[in-house]
Amino acid sequence: MTILQPLFQAIALAKNEYEMRSHVVEIGGNYFQAKRCGVFFFDCLKLSKTMQLALSVEYNPVARYLVERHAPVHDGLLVSPKTWRLICPRADHWHVMAGPIVSSGQLVGVVGFTREQAMPAFNDQNLADLSALCLHLSTWSATMRQTPQQLESKVLTPREVQIAQLVAQGRTNSEIGVELWITENSVKQALKRMFRKLEVSSRAQLTAQFVQAKPLLSNGVEK
């Protein structure tokens, strides 16, 4: 088990943003020996005009790098310490490292870590570790932070809910057809649609999604 494995597992098990952020701040902050750290999603940010300027791609090379490359970076790779002081004069942001959170090919958020002047600068190993962390955060974001349109596309119809329930009970396609008074081929076609909706590839994965993700039930109806 790698040193970061407990953090990866904690992120995967996080049920909401509060839990996920807490794990990153506590475990990730300690691992990267950061003075400050945080996870930020753009659709939740409310920034002052001063902060909007500080984080703009025209003004901040770290922000520009993230937007253009979707890859982790630290200030030392882009500008000199003197130049960085002009861009970000905060004492607790003497060294900054940030990584992208990506969903469907779009930059949706950032995870960042900072250190004070007396602390060592971030290095290549830090970037490699942050890259791995970003992959897990991006996966979590794509799974847990879905737009209303994405959720709508995954809603099961009442008939699909019935089929999912029977699949969870271990019934075969033939048995499901008999139970619901439909043909076996209708069951097969319904399962194909359900696999696409829930982005799964097996009956076991379908069952896990059905049991754990009650919001996917159409209108909250369970028959």
Q: Mean pLDDT, the chain, as a whole number? A: 86
Listed in sequence order, the residues at least 6 apart from 183 whose beta carbon sits closer than 8 Å to its beta carbon are 177
**CATH says 5-145 is which class?**
alpha beta
- The architecture in CATH of the region 149-220 reads Orthogonal Bundle (1.10)
- What band does 218 get if pLDDT is binned at 50, 70 and 90? very low
At 28-56, the pLDDT tens digits run 999 999 999 999 998 777 777 777 777 78
Residue-range domain boundaries for the chain: 5-145, 149-220
Q: In whole angstroms, give the CA distance from residue 176 to residue 41.
A: 43
Residue 51's alpha-carbon distances to 19, 43, 54, 55, 113, in angstroms, are 26, 15, 5, 6, 17
- pTM beyond 0.85: the answer is no
What mean pLDDT do residues 178-186 have? 92
